[in-house]
Amino acid sequence: MDKTTANGPGERHEGFRSGFVSFVGRPNAGKSTLTNALVGQKVAITSSKPQTTRHVVRGIVHRPDAQLVLIDTPGLHRPRTLLGERLNDLVQETWAEVDVIGVCLPSDQRVGPGDKYLLGEILKLRRVPELVAIATKSDLVGPTRLGEHLLSIQKLEEEIGLTWQHIVPVSATEGHQVDVVADCLIDRLPEGPAYYPDGDVTDEPTERLVGELIREAALDSVREELPHSIVVTVEEMGLREGRPEDKPLVDVFANLIVERESQKGIMIGHRGSHLREVGQAARRQIGALLGTPVHLDLRVKVLKEWQRDAKHLNRLGF
């Protein structure tokens, strides 16, 4: 096979670049939305509530000249529970291993102490990756404000003692400059072979993605204090037997786990109305992901104080 045209996994390609990139930024900075825009398919959970990304989800960008593997981590925050501590360790381990960190700084907000804290943590890593500054949500501001924002990002170089390889504005929702972000990131990757076969968009097991879609549907509708208390386990999933070939149906059995009885009540709602809505929304999303109609059996369970209990955390995969 001609090595200059091959770009399957493990094949070296003259001038081909490949590597790992992680987006960091304050909660709600637009990391998941940018991941999805780059990959061109919904792979990371997005939500208007902060700190909802809990698992490391990979999205993969395939190009003839490069392969970019996106590692989506939860936000770093002051640990208040055992879950918080484990998440922070996971984040720092991941950051030290990627080739490039894309620091997301939303254009509609001033660069602040939270951003500087994050950057300080990055500079403390045993190995500091290349840094690209991404001014997200550029559609939310006018040119003057965007200019100011880019300037204050540049000033961080002096203030904190870091070097940006690129500073790039982007609107992931409008699809504006998404390609430029990809170029800037790929530009900093080392030469090397593709890690994944063409066409793969994520190596997350389907069940985990399905669980995330259910969690997203549940989060969309509950009050601010509930998000951290929700976790979803997919117990069983499979094609229902005995269906006609042109009418397949996938059965999904999942648990929505909360910490307290009172939260269970909120989740279920009056005569089950809330749970029904969540189920319907989740079913649509899962159907779109799998390309098959879905029957979703969703139950709400209480696992008391699961965020503080090592046994529960292990069981839930943290």
Give the residue numbers of the binding site. Answer: 25-32, 72-76, 136-139
Residues 6+ apart with CB under 8 A from 184: 132, 165, 166, 168
List 7, 18, 22, 32, residue binding ligand GTP (CB under 6 A): 32
Q: Is residue 107 a contact point for ligand GTP (CB under 6 A)?
A: no
Q: Is residue 54 a contact point for ligand GTP (CB under 6 A)?
A: no
**Burial label, 161 (beta-carbon count in 10 A; 0-12, 13-18, 19+):** exposed
Q: Is residue 221 a contact point for ligand GTP (CB under 6 A)?
A: no
Total number of residues binding ligand GTP (CB under 6 A)? 23
List 13, 31, 42, 312, residue binding ligand GTP (CB under 6 A): 31
CB atoms within 10 A of CB 308: 14
By the 8 A CB rule, do 298 and 251 touch?
Answer: no
The sign one gets for the Cα dihedral 308, 309, 314, 315 is negative
Residue ranges for the known binding site for GTP are 25-32, 72-76, 136-139
Q: Is residue 73 a contact point for ligand GTP (CB under 6 A)?
A: no
Q: Is residue 200 a contact point for ligand GTP (CB under 6 A)?
A: no
Please state the closest distance from residue 87 (CB atom) to ligand GTP, in A: 11
Q: Is residue 51 a contact point for ligand GTP (CB under 6 A)?
A: yes
Q: Is residue 139 a contact point for ligand GTP (CB under 6 A)?
A: yes
**Identity of the residue, 113 or 238, whose beta carbon is nearer to ligand GTP in the bound complex:** 113
By the 8 A CB rule, do 59 and 36 touch?
Answer: yes
Q: Is residue 48 a contact point for ligand GTP (CB under 6 A)?
A: yes
Q: Is residue 109 a contact point for ligand GTP (CB under 6 A)?
A: no
Q: Which ranges in 124-204 belong to alpha helices (H)?
A: 143-156, 178-187
* Pair of tokens at residue 82: 């055992």
By the 8 A CB rule, do 15 and 65 touch?
Answer: yes
What is the binding site for ligand GTP (CB under 6 A)? 25, 27-33, 46-48, 50-53, 75, 136-137, 139-140, 171-173
